[in-house]
Structure 1
């Protein structure tokens, strides 16, 4: 079993970059070359702002190169009463923005935008799916609600009672995507330095001084785009403003031609309405990519994780009986106190963007742009996304461990209770 994702197997190489050496002076320094850092760097460079982006490891080393690759632009915090109008529109269209950006920049990242299918597994799930569909249909992001036969046609699975498709959903090779963004930022004029971990951050009279093992950057403004991958050099008030949880992902062996014809023939991403949902996609090599939050056993120990995923997939597709898995890896998810992405003001001209809650592909497309605007003009940025003060979350480590350990078992129990209630209702219904 390979303990890293297979994305590097097909991703184009990262842009050429070397560690920072010596001293440079820029308008803005960004720390962390993931989705948000590379998008912010690209937006700033396009506006004529001198910008340097440093990365402790390699481009996409953190969550941006380790996630499931799904673009699911569905958010509980997409709320016109909370977000400014421009920010609401930006987040609403974030899925489309991902794929438009890929097309505009010519990024070779196996993009597929055929929608995200949410399939209802029972009557209660049908109610939840209808409510979500109504919200996104009003926004022009969904067509008609689907009946059982239409769900089967798209998914290849029978037995679901209905569902809907978010038109802007899809999937990418996330490592290839972030490498493409980094190359575009570099081509636009941003300075990119990998293998340059931040070792010091100091405020001076004329701005900020960032130190790395081989050099230093003098910058008027700083944006921290490390999300949940912050180390001790990052201000504690950012690290303590997130709940950290571990997620896992798995990749199967490539499907055979016959299996591929049966599994997700509509090309959509799949997720159902179970409390413990089954979600997966098929990558450009014909592998099934699936996963979830790490629990006490599932996601942490490979053998039971593979066994359970195999049983669940074979239950949906008999043709997948005996399917082998070749890759099993994990990453870190950051959740803010408000359970939405946050642009934190950490000090004078010191900003941070974090807390994607597992929706990093679409949220960073919107929030990377909002951070770039903030680093140019705070009022412009505030029109795109609220600025939050960092909020220390007491016991954040314990909360994260508890949620990821107990959430899955609790949700599986709720699903079993729900099935029992549905069966009892059917027996008593004339």
Structure 2
């Protein structure tokens, strides 16, 4: 089923002509390409997206963590927000009671009550300072949301303290906690555009432990369990590596089944493995195997020894962590700069890569080195992608054309043989 949705954006001269043509062809073929597709246009682009782990089965409603990125043009619009959407899987389309004899197709009767067809905001929290580069919830407690800011801080929000509507949250306490080694003042936010918090990653084994990386090359580990209500600012990280990448870091990832190993990557074109117990560098890849800076690195959640990294030239390398200083297991070519990548939480060999320039999201079967699906609905660069834990092929993607897409490829196109 393809769910009708409003157009993404007005096509104008700011969109490359080749992207406009590709979008027109893509739009004509969506019914053949997708089992489900929902496109939404927002006021501002989001740099981040993540499905929450819960699912309301009565309405098949999923929650998604998003952000508003204004590039500091309108600070009052800078926000993180939680949206909801139903993919309508709770509707029993194949029931004979829903078969329309006149049109010879399945349709629910007129008494069926549908949830909203598109994304709707469940909660909005105004961002305290800078732009939100990345937001993630704490795996052990999804009500705790962490956001990496362009002002060099990490802001921690407690969803339960912000009511249930956008209007309530805008007047609530700005944040529950702030992690910043540069500024001890709770009331004055000093924007440091030269050293942004670029990305964050939460430890899946130890609650409250998170890693952050910075545009000037620092790698830090924080423990938010050290929080004190009397002083909500933590200015001392547990670990601080000031020269993890002298040219700047772009991404960081905790090993899923280990509480002390972190992978980090950046502009020096190598992936490095660090041990937080000794603050030592364990191993790193050859910098000649990536070009233009590595933008993303992620561990496979099914196999902690398998690491993927994607660079600005479009190369995605898959590494055996035990041989990180050797050649990669294999290399995939996205075709343009890779902004981010994500392994499927449901299917071990499946990985999705997002295009920073071409606006494409490609789904790969890493066991065969084959692209099994390409999502071409974004007309500008893709900022983030997320898999859904409950639906093996459901994804969310956000791009610079202000679009938020929730989509599921047609099963016959992607099912593994």
Specify the TM-score bucket, using the shorter chain as the normaliser. under 0.3
Greater strand content: 2
| Higher relative contact order structure (alpha carbons within 8 Å, sequence separation ≥ 6) | 1
